[in-house]
Structure 1
C-alpha cells in the first residue's frame, strides 16, 4: 500500500480555497465536495468612483489590505477545514492586481504546505452557473458579457471551449459604462443606466443594432456608443430625455445580444444557453433571453446575481474541478495579463500528486 504523504492527501476530501483579485473586487471562497462552503467579497467601487474608472495602482494596494481578512473570514465561516489546495486567478486581468492574489496564494500554499493552482478568470465565469442547485449540463453555448469581455463560446466540457464570436471593439459592459458617463450617471455606470432605463421609452431613439445584418457571431458596440453621444449632443437634456436615451441604448444592446445568442444556438445545434458576467445581471437582458428561449425551444441559465460579477466562488469551483492538476512543491506567484481562452485544455487524468518537476 502506498502510504506516502501524497497518497494520503489524495484520500482526503478535496477542499479548495479560491482567491480572486483580477480587477476591482477582492474575494475569497471555499469549495468542497458538498459544494460551496463560504464566500466573501469586497468591492472597490467607492474607491474608484471619484476617478470614473478603475485605477490599477489603487486596486492593487486595496487587494493587499483586504485579501487576508477575507480569507480568514471564509475559513472561519466554513469551520476552519483542512485545505487540500488553493486556486487563484492567474489571468487575464490587471497585472498588479493579479500579482497580489498570486503572491497571497503562493504564500499561503507554502505556509500550509498545500498545492497551488492558477486558474483562468473567464473559465471561472463560464463555469459559474454550475454553482447553482440545478446546474446546466454540458454542452452549452455561453454568453460571457462583462466590463472587459463579450464572448460567445461553445462549452463542450470542462476545458473544451470553442470561441464562436467576440466584440471587435468595446465590450458590452464597457459600452454601458461609457454611455452612462455621457449621461453623467457616475461610476459604475452600468447599473445606474439600467435603473434609469426603467423610466424611459425604448423606442424613443432608433439606435443601430451593430453587425446584425452581417453573417457571423462577432459584436461591435463602439458605433452604438457614438450614436448615443450624437443624440445627447443634438438633443435637449432633461431627466425624461436622458431616460429615453438610456432605454433606447439598452434595448439596442439587448436586441443585439439576443439575436446573436439565438444565431449561436442554431449554428451549434445545442439546446442550452448560459449567461455569465456582470452584464448578465441586467434584468432586461434576462427577460428577453428567457422569452426568446421559450419561443425557440432552448433553455437559459444564469448564475445568481452575486456570482455574475467577479467573485471567488467561481475560482474555487474551477480549482475543485481541476484538482487533478494540483502539484505539490513551492508555487511561484505566476500571473498573466492576457491569456487566450483557447489555450486551455481538459484537466489531466487523476494521478498521484507530484512536485513541479513532475517527479512523484
Structure 2
C-alpha cells in the first residue's frame, strides 16, 4: 500500500511517499527558516501562505523521485495537529482534496506520533517495548511505548519545554533564529564549567521536567555581563551558551535514565528536533552503553518536522489495524491542541 503524507504544522512543508511493506520511498522538504529569521520567530500568517506556495511543487517532486503518479497512491495522510491552525489547514485541505479526487481514504495523523515513530525509519530499528524521550518544539515528554498506538505517559514538562529553553535562552543572548542550533553552535566555543546554572527538577523524584527557571538564570547572568566588553563579552556569552546546553542535556539525560530504571526496559528512543543535539546524543549513547542498554535516534534529516514521519506513522497504524480505510467521508478538521493520549 502506497501512502502520500503531508506535514505542515509549523514552519516546514514536508511531503513523502511510504510503502507499508517497503518503507520510505521518497520525500521532499522545504524549511521556512530564512523567511522567519527577519522576525526572530515564526509568523503564523506567513507560514500558512508559504505552505500554500510550496505544497504542490513538493508533491510533484516527491512523486517524480519515486517514479510514481498520483494514481499510484492508495491513501493520503496529513498532520491534523497539534500545531498552528492555519498551517495545519493547508496540509489537511490539500491531502483531503487529493484523497477525494482519487477516491482514496485520508488518514489524519498526530504530529507527535510521527516524531515518536520516526526512529523506526533508522537502521538499526528499535523493537517494542521502549522508553521514548520526545523533545519536539513545545513538547518534552517521556513515554513508555509498547506498540503502535500503545503509549503511556511517564513524565512531561510543567512549563517550558527543552526546545523552548534553547530558543528563549538563545534570544536572551542575542542569537539568531532558530535559537537552538545557534546556541549549540556558540556553545562549541565555550566552557560549560564557568557558570553553574540550575538543573530544574533534577532531584524531584518523578519524571517531570521544568525549564522556566533555567531561562530566568540565563537572563540574570546576561544582565551581569558588560555588553561593551568586546572579546571578553563574546567569551562570556560562549561560556554561558555552553553552560545552558549542558544544563538542558543533563536534565534530559538524567530523567531518561531514571525512566529506564523505573520501567526495567533496555531500549531508549529519542525523537524530535532536540534529538539532533550532538551532546545529548553522545551523553545518552555513553550512559546507555554503560548500563547495557541501547539508544536509538531518527536519521538527522528526519529530526525536524517532515512528511516522511507522517506518512510512516500512517503506514504503521494501517499495519496495526488501527485505521478504518473504508471510511468514505472527506469532512475534516484540525486540532491545534491535541494530546498524544487522546488518539
TM-score (norm 1): 0.90
- RMSD of aligned C-alpha atoms? 1.0
Please list every run of 5 or more consecutive structure 1 residues that lacks an aligned counterpart in the other structure. Answer: 1-13, 345-360
Post-superposition CA distance 1:298-349 (Å, at most 9, x none): 21000011111101101010111122412342412321111111122xxxxx
Q: Which residue of 2 aligns with 1:225?
A: 215
1:192 partnered with 2:182:
yes
Q: Quick one: which of 237, 241, 245 aligns to 1:246?
A: 241
Q: Quick one: which of 237, 258, 261 aligns to 2:256?
A: 261
Post-superposition CA distance 1:106-140 (Å, at most 9, x none): 11011111110101110010100111132100000
Q: Quick one: which of 192, 196, 214 aligns to 1:202?
A: 192
Distance 1:213 1:37 in 2: 45
1:294 partnered with 2:302:
no
Q: Secondary structure at the match of 2:10?
A: coil
Q: Which residue of 2 aligns with 1:327?
A: 326
1:45 partnered with 2:33:
yes
TM-score (norm 2): 0.95
Q: Which residue of 1 aligns with 2:67?
A: 79
1:281 partnered with 2:281:
no
Contact between 1:118 and 1:334, CA under 8 Å: does it hold in 2? no
Contact between 2:139 and 2:161, CA under 8 Å: does it hold in 1? yes
Moved over 2 A (4+): none
Distance 1:121 1:193 in 2: 25
Give the length in aligned residue pairs. Answer: 331
Q: Which residue of 1 aligns with 2:82?
A: 92
Distance 1:271 1:25 in 2: 33
Please list every run of 5 or more consecutive structure 2 residues that lacks an aligned counterpart in the other structure. Answer: 228-232
Tell me by how many angstroms 1:72 deviates: 1.1
Contact between 1:119 and 1:319, CA under 8 Å: does it hold in 2? yes
Q: Quick one: which of 160, 185, 199 aligns to 1:170?
A: 160
Distance 1:330 1:343 in 2: 21
Q: Secondary structure at the match of 2:124?
A: coil
Comparing 64-73 with 328-337, greater Cα deviation is found at 328-337
1:64 partnered with 2:70:
no
Distance 1:166 1:101 in 2: 28
Q: Which residue of 2 aligns with 1:55?
A: 43
Tell me by how many angstroms 1:294 deviates: 1.4
Tell me by how many angstroms 1:153 deviates: 0.5
Q: Which residue of 2 aligns with 1:305?
A: 300
Tell me by how many angstroms 1:186 deviates: 1.2
Contact between 1:18 and 1:29, CA under 8 Å: does it hold in 2? yes
Q: Which residue of 2 aligns with 1:142?
A: 132
